[in-house]
């Protein structure tokens, strides 16, 4: 396999609603920024991988075809990837394979999602209708009719973890929310920059036991893109290549009855293990400088500390209590604000997380720049009770 580098990247703002853009107009903006950042034009792109999750959001089946057209990439090969919340991570994994295999030299990996055109006229908000669109991805025969949401699926897992290990506590979850909203205040693309107290989080309205309003990410519109290149091309294009040195992925049984338990996400453990193996990482907490983890919910960020082997199984809550994951801690988690602070533009999210880590590795993260950032982890999760996980290890040149 050939070495693969990120040589260009771009992202739109993550906002509740881009009223003045369609999904392919948003995608165009991110794609153009990434090409400009790499110093290339559309003609130099060899192939594209698009991460787009929900066709109901876009009000369009096969929306990738229209993104490809709008970007002026006609007649170049492309493929669309969809793995729920892990769509962005999966798109990066496929893009990596395109270049590592030697099939192509320059690959555009672009994620986009525009969910908030869905609208419930009766209650005059978007979210219930967004959730209705998402529920079509639950098993239509046995799960969908129960009215389960993504939040309730993950709530069941967090409750099972609490019962087994006594954590995360609601207070530990609130601390994660405070951290991620705070981190977002230094991220110019973030949707939810906020200074909150633990009490603000604990007193916010209940969504699904044990999650309160501020324990949840919000649905977001946005697009993020990276340009991947082979080593030879990367050397020509940039002095600051960001190397993808580890790629791990796993997809679990979607019918939870086929799993031994739900208090841990085995797909996350497998994906992290494989990514670390490939990157030669043995002690992640020491060898990683930062991580962007899929914090769709505060409780699942804490579960992710364990699933990414930052601590022993059952000890996740301690890493927020002892401030390991704070911006000034041993291993800062979600400096972007994560999904909770920056936003969850589903198909774009994994690519936004990658953008964030690469930004630190290039020393371009401005006010929130982590000193001496050399190696970072991206974790991208999707599906009922964490069906898919993709983990990427990114490293700077020296």
Under 8 Å between Cβ of 107 and 64: no
To the nearest whole angstrom, how small is the minimum distance from the Cβ of residue 266 to other proteins? 16
Helix (H, G, I), strand (E, B) or coil at 391: strand
To the nearest whole angstrom, how small is the minimum distance from the Cβ of residue 329 to other proteins? 31
With respect to other proteins, which residue has the nearer C-beta, 16 or 207? 207
With respect to other proteins, which residue has the nearer C-beta, 20 or 236? 20
To the nearest whole angstrom, how small is the minimum distance from the Cβ of residue 382 to other proteins? 18
User: What's the CA gap between 357 and 11, in Å, rounded?
Assistant: 13
As beta bridge partners, residue 248 has 391
With respect to other proteins, which residue has the nearer C-beta, 81 or 262? 262
4 Cβ neighbours under 8 A, 6+ residues apart: 96, 99, 100, 228, 229, 230, 231, 243, 244
Under 8 Å between Cβ of 248 and 273: yes
Q: Which two tokens stand for residue 142?
A: 């046995």
User: What's the CA gap between 114 and 170, in Å, rounded?
Assistant: 31
To the nearest whole angstrom, how small is the minimum distance from the Cβ of residue 195 to other proteins? 24
To the nearest whole angstrom, how small is the minimum distance from the Cβ of residue 113 to other proteins? 16
To the nearest whole angstrom, how small is the minimum distance from the Cβ of residue 17 to other proteins? 10
As beta bridge partners, residue 225 has 10, 110
To the nearest whole angstrom, how small is the minimum distance from the Cβ of residue 191 to other proteins? 19
To the nearest whole angstrom, how small is the minimum distance from the Cβ of residue 192 to other proteins? 17
To the nearest whole angstrom, how small is the minimum distance from the Cβ of residue 254 to other proteins? 11
Under 8 Å between Cβ of 86 and 339: no
With respect to other proteins, which residue has the nearer C-beta, 144 or 324? 144
Strand 388-395 versus strand 375-382 pairing type: antiparallel
With respect to other proteins, which residue has the nearer C-beta, 165 or 309? 165
Which residues in this chain contact other proteins in the complex, by CB under 8 A?
A: 19-20, 56, 59, 120-123, 127-129, 131-132, 134-135, 141-143, 145-149, 151-152, 155-157, 159-160, 163, 205-210, 255-258, 262
With respect to other proteins, which residue has the nearer C-beta, 259 or 374? 259
With respect to other proteins, which residue has the nearer C-beta, 79 or 146? 146
The backbone torsions φ and ψ at residue 47, rounded to the nearest 5 degrees and listed phi first, read -160, 165
User: What's the CA gap between 87 and 389, in Å, rounded?
Assistant: 9
What is the separation, in whole angstroms, between the first and last Cα of the chain?
21
254 Cβ neighbours under 8 A, 6+ residues apart: 139, 383, 384, 387
CA distances from 349 to 78, 94, 267, 382 (A): 20, 16, 19, 11
Angle at 171 between CA 169 and CA 175, to 5 degrees: 120
Q: Which two tokens stand for residue 114?
A: 């525009």
With respect to other proteins, which residue has the nearer C-beta, 105 or 129? 129
- CB burial of residue 115 (10 Å; 0-12, 13-18, 19+): buried
Q: Which two tokens stand for residue 395?
A: 């490293």
With respect to other proteins, which residue has the nearer C-beta, 5 or 155? 155
To the nearest whole angstrom, how small is the minimum distance from the Cβ of residue 380 to other proteins? 24
With respect to other proteins, which residue has the nearer C-beta, 65 or 131? 131
């Amino acid at each position: 396999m050939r070495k693969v580098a990120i040589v260009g990247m771009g992202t739109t703002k993550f906002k509740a609603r881009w009223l003045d853009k369609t999904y392919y107009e948003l995608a165009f903006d991110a794609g153009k920024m990434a090409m400009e950042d790499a110093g290339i034009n559309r003609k130099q792109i060899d192939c594209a991988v698009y991460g787009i999750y929900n066709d109901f959001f876009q009000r369009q089946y096969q929306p990738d075809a229209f993104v490809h057209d709008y970007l002026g990439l006609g007649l170049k090969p492309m493929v669309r990837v969809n793995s729920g919340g892990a769509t962005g991570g999966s798109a990066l994994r496929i893009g990596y394979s395109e270049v590592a295999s030697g099939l192509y030299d320059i690959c555009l990996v672009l994620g986009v999602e525009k969910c908030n055109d869905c609208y419930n006229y009766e209650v005059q908000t978007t979210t219930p209708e967004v959730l209705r669109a998402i529920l079509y991805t639950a098993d239509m025969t046995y799960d969908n009719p129960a009215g389960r949401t993504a939040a309730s699926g993950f709530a069941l897992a967090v409750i099972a973890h609490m019962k087994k290990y006594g954590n995360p506590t609601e207070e530990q979850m609130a601390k994660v929310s405070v951290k991620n909203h705070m981190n977002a205040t230094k991220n110019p693309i973030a949707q939810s920059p906020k200074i909150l107290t633990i009490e603000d989080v604990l007193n916010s309205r209940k969504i699904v036991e044990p999650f309160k309003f501020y324990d949840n990410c919000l649905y977001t519109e946005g697009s993020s893109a990276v340009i991947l290149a082979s080593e030879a091309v990367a050397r020509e294009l940039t002095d600051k290549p960001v190397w993808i040195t580890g790629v791990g992925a796993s997809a679990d049984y979607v019918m939870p009855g086929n799993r031994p338990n739900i208090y841990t996400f085995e797909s996350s453990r497998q994906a992290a293990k494989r990514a670390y193996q490939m990157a030669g990482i043995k002690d992640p907490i020491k060898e990683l400088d930062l991580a962007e983890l899929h914090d769709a919910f505060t409780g699942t960020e804490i579960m992710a500390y364990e699933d990414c082997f930052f601590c022993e199984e059952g000890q996740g809550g301690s890493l927020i209590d002892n401030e390991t994951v704070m911006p000034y801690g041993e291993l800062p988690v979600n400096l972007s604000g994560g999904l909770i602070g920056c936003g969850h533009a589903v198909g774009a999210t994994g690519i936004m997380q990658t953008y964030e880590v690469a930004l630190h590795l290039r020393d371009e993260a401005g006010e929130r720049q982590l000193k001496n950032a050399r190696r970072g982890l991206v974790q991208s999760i999707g599906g009922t009770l964490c069906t898919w996980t993709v983990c990427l290890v990114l490293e700077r040149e020296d």
